[in-house]
């Protein structure tokens, strides 16, 4: 017996819900809070898969690609109101927002402790081991002794990380992180992290 569209759609939603629950149960929240590197990588993978599920659900089930010369009697699904759609930082150029806020001189740079000119390009670090995905890197005002420190911004949060010398033999370690929901919150967190690094240097 052939299922109708509503039944198929309900089955798909149930399968997606089971998959999402399974993904969440695969995470160890305690390790995430402790910034465990492998668990953070697993978290990023889970987030990516959940976004794929969300994206698939947003596609109208009855809509199929159009063929030249062929019309369809099925009306197109109306786009939800703008305020009903989740905001993603993919729609905003994070780098432009950061630069326009006056942080341009810090972008793409890190802070090396113990140097006369401590602000250096991120590329001075030969690897990204221990770092989650990020979009922008900024230099703070200080770093722990015999270490390098930087502030990183991703689509979901701002975090501060450091790596001890010799940097080629060690991995980045996340010191603190905070999520944000808007550009204003993102910029406020960046400034707070910079201010905190300045106070630690005193």
Residue 99 is classified by DSSP as: I
Return the ∠ at Cα 148 (arms to 131 and 164), rounded to 5°. 80
Maximum average pLDDT range among 25-39, 71-85, 178-192: 178-192
- Give the model confidence (pLDDT) of 33-67 as tens digits: 556 666 666 676 667 676 676 766 665 544 444 44
Same domain, 51 and 116: no
Same domain, 112 and 194: yes
Q: Residue 31's CB: how many other CB atoms inside 10 A?
A: 15
Same domain, 102 and 56: no
How far is it, in rounded angstroms, from Cα 150 to Cα 161?
6
| β-strand pairing of 109-112 with 147-153 | antiparallel
Is 18 within a domain?
yes
Is 76 within a domain?
no
Task: Output the average pLDDT for the chain.
Answer: 76
Residue range 105-120: mean pLDDT, rounded:
94
Is the pLDDT at 114 greater than 60? The verdict is yes
How far is it, in rounded angstroms, from Cα 109 to Cα 61?
46
Q: Which residue has the tokens 């975090």?
A: 159
- Local structure of 148: helix, strand or coil: strand
* Cis geometry, peptide bond prior to residue 197 (ω within 30 degrees of 0): no
Q: What is the pLDDT of residue 70?
A: 42
Is 84 within a domain?
no
Is 75 within a domain?
no
Is 70 within a domain?
no
Q: Select from 103, 80, 117 the least CA-distant residue to 152.
A: 103
Same domain, 8 and 54: yes
Same domain, 52 and 95: no
Q: Residue 36's CB: how many other CB atoms inside 10 A?
A: 15
Q: Which domain holds residue 178?
A: 90-201
- Give the model confidence (pLDDT) of 143-199 as tens digits: 999 999 999 999 989 999 999 999 999 999 999 999 999 999 999 999 999 998 877
Same domain, 42 and 111: no
Q: What is the pLDDT of residue 40?
A: 64
Domains identified in the chain, total number: 2
Is 109 within a domain?
yes
**What band does 80 get if pLDDT is binned at 50, 70 and 90?**
very low
Is 68 within a domain?
no
């Amino acid at each position: 017996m052939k299922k109708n569209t509503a039944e198929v759609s309900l089955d798909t939603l149930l399968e997606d819900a089971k998959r999402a629950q399974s993904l969440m149960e695969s995470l160890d929240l305690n390790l995430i809070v402790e910034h465990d590197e492998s668990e953070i990588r697993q978290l990023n993978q889970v987030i990516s898969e959940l976004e794929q599920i969300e994206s698939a659900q947003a596609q109208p089930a009855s809509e199929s690609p159009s063929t030249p010369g062929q019309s369809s009697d099925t009306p197109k699904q109306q786009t939800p109101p703008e305020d009903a759609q989740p905001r993603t930082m993919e729609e905003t150029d994070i780098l432009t927002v950061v630069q326009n806020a006056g942080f341009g001189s810090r972008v793409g740079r890190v802070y090396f402790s113990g140097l006369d000119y401590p602000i250096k390009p991120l590329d001075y670090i030969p690897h990204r081991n221990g770092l989650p995905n990020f979009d922008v890197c900024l230099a703070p005002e200080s770093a722990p002794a015999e270490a390098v420190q930087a502030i990183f911004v991703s689509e979901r949060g701002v975090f501060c990380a450091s790596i001890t010398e010799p940097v080629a033999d060690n991995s980045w370690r996340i010191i603190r992180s905070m999520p944000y929901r808007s550009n204003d919150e993102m910029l406020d967190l960046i400034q707070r992290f910079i201010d905190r690094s300045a106070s630690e240097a005193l």
